[in-house]
Structure 1
């Protein structure tokens, strides 16, 4: 995925009784960029025939209280890394998490996706979904769970730092490309 296409930002969206929820518009652009089929049709110049971009929702990790969403290119990158692992238990578990315990769907013509009841129940999602960008992926949360658990983790981490701490300092350890 191009470096300029990242999932960024956060927003709340209503979830209807059928599990339909709008995806943030900026996230839809990243999904389009990360879908090879969408890009192939777009390159042909036939905008009327553009397919709806696909998305992969990983839900299998029982410890996670959110759904992790990938572009098609993004999940292919995960698959490539898994394939490089030696045959064994860890590879088998990762294959199950990232190939078995997923839901592949597409964004509909109105910019929504349908979250099946199983996925909504897993994260306790009822009437509102919280979307947060995470760079190469995005997450869907029950807003109350996110506020109660994740916000406090970041705040606690920051509170443990000296007053002069600037989070950008951590980037100094990363080499330049």
Structure 2
């Protein structure tokens, strides 16, 4: 199951050129599902201030779900759902070092600054500013301890970067 599912978490830095390394386990899933040299990245869903990353296989499933709800309808709701999911997602090439480059727009809407907290979500994965993720009001304590442990292991401040 793990070879075709995004499981686990990771913490990686964003460099001065806005590059960040996608965790190897997530790259392995991308490779298994769609060749691994590209990932679609767009705004989070359900009001989550993060980024959502997925492969073409999951994009096809998302489209099938939209078509199942709306068919060929030309309603404002159908257009809005398609435009949000597919108009907001950008394809990102993964370089030979396993990195992608986040656009300034994606960084701004997600609040990502110096580091990215990756969270596996089975069919996709999320990219968060680790301090924003840690501050989620309904976050289970185990997840808070995971992100705090990773921040601490890297010598990063638990409360967030100095302003």
- TM-score, normalised with respect to structure 2: 0.77
* Aligned ranges 1:102-113 → 2 under 5 Å: 102-113=89-100
Rg comparison, structure with higher value: 1
Q: Which of these residues, 46, 64, 68, is aligned with residue 48 of structure 2?
A: 64
User: Which 4+ stretches in 1 moved above 6 angstroms?
Assistant: none
The answer (yes or no) to whether the contact 1:60–1:102 under 8 Å persists in 2 is no
Report the equivalent of 2:12.
13
Name the counterpart of 1:153: 139
- Taking structure 1 as reference, are residues 24 and 83 closer, same or farther at Cα in structure 2, changes over 3 Å only? same
* Alpha-carbon separation, structure 1, partners of 2:97 and 2:10: 17
What RMSD, in angstroms, separates the aligned Cα atoms of the two structures?
A: 1.9
Q: Where does residue 100 of structure 1 map in the other structure? A: 87
* SS of residue matched to 1:104: strand
* Residue 124 of structure 1 pairs with residue 111 of structure 2: yes
* Structure 1 residues without counterparts, runs of 5 or longer: 39-51, 156-177
Shift of 1:17: 1.3
**Number of equivalent positions:** 138
Unaligned ranges ≥5, structure 2: 142-163
Give TM-score scaled by structure 1 length.
Answer: 0.71
Structure 2 counterparts to residues 45-64 of structure 1, below 5 A: 53-59=37-43, 63-64=47-48
Q: Deviations over 1:43-93 (max 9, x none)?
A: xxxxxxxxx521111217583210011111111111122123331222111
